[in-house]
Structure 1
Amino acid sequence: MAEGYPSIPDDLPGQFRAAMRRLAASVTVVVAKGDNGPVGMAATSVTSLTVDPPAVLVCVNRATALHALLVPTAPLSVNLLSRDQQEVSAAFGGGRPHEERFSVGNWREGDDGLPTLGGAQANLSCVIDAMLAYGTHSIVIARVLKAQVRDEVAPLIYQDGAYL
């Protein structure tokens, strides 16, 4: 326990996990450049930060393969999935090995050399501005350099272990 903070009950982590499962979130696939090609993971902890400059927050577990690639000024692709892209979400959520994930979905090379997902709700091309370690994760601040938006609004939403 840190000085000045109240003690945490033993059952709080489980209660917190159950509470957060009730928080509905859009599903994204975040992609960075690796030595042997792109590396991507599904994420629901992505949110807008500011419009001036355009930026998003992406929270990434430090134990993931993606995390090792995240350094300031590195390019990052953030793809907001459409309702019909559940198979992409499952593949990037751990349903397929890293080397097979980009075989699922309509991926094409973006301006920064990173894959972007065709048919997604939106594609953001970013660079990492800053990172802050917190607990098991890093909070990544990514400056948006380009945004493409699909006309139809039909996001893939995840809540309590299922798609809505």
Structure 2
Amino acid sequence: MVDTKVFRDGMSLLGSAVTVITTDGEAGRFGFTATAVTSVTDEPPTLLVCMNRNSFAHPYFIENGVLSVNVLQSHHQGVSWDFANRELTSEERFAKHEWSTLKTGSPILEEALVGFDCEIHEAHEMGSHSVFYCRVKDAVVKDGGQGLVYFDRAYHALNEESCAS
């Protein structure tokens, strides 16, 4: 087995879009910052979202059975920090930003590049995390904007200049 530090150092060099994963339902409204999100298939549209089972919000996501994947823009570093900050309550995190909803009722960040509205179709446990397979029920895509990625333990904006060949 590879050493955990070597694995984490290597994974820090795998750039990922920064997202805020949100839920709402009978269990309440919760959210967290994540980079472990990817598409699985487009028939049917399905995303994979990984969440630490030790997170205080984990049981609420399971109980609600729905979530939204909010893909952040380059100026949303503060949103990312808010949803990663363990000192803020769930109410404080959501109060700082503008939200709407689509079909499932999960919060969609008004300024997100993309908001995917999903039902959790399956959940599997792997090590310390749950792997959610999420069926996309609706989506909203904004025109323009710059993406936010996390690479080498820092935020980076994606724009035309940074992506030019």
Q: Does 1:27 align with 2:27?
A: no
Q: Does 1:37 align with 2:28?
A: yes
Structure 1 match to 2:109: 117
For 1:148, the aligned partner's letter is V
User: Larger C-alpha radius of gyration, 1 or 2?
Assistant: 1
For 1:116, the aligned partner's letter is I
Q: TM-score, normalised by structure 1?
A: 0.86
Q: 1 or 2, which has the higher helix percentage?
A: 2
Check the 8 A contact 2:27/2:63 in 1, yes or no: no
Q: Does 1:85 align with 2:76?
A: yes
2:109 & 2:75 partners in 1: Cα distance? 12
Aligned-pair identity (%):
37
1:60 & 1:38 partners in 2: Cα distance? 16
Offset at residue 69 of structure 1 (A) = 2.1
1:34 & 1:64 partners in 2: Cα distance? 18
What's the C-alpha RMSD, in Å, of the aligned pairs? 1.9
Q: Within 5 A, what are the aligned runs for 1:126-137? A: 126-137=118-129
What is the aligned counterpart of 1:104 among 96, 112, 135?
96
What is the aligned counterpart of 2:4 among 6, 10, 13?
13
Offset at residue 94 of structure 1 (A) = 1.7
Structure 2 segments unaligned to the other structure (5+ residues) = 157-165
Aligned length: 155
Q: TM-score, normalised by structure 2?
A: 0.86
SS at match of 2:104: coil
For 1:53, the aligned partner's letter is P
Q: Does 1:147 align with 2:101?
A: no
For 1:86, the aligned partner's letter is Q
Identify which range, 82-91 or 28-37, moves more after superposition. Answer: 28-37
2:135 & 2:25 partners in 1: Cα distance? 20
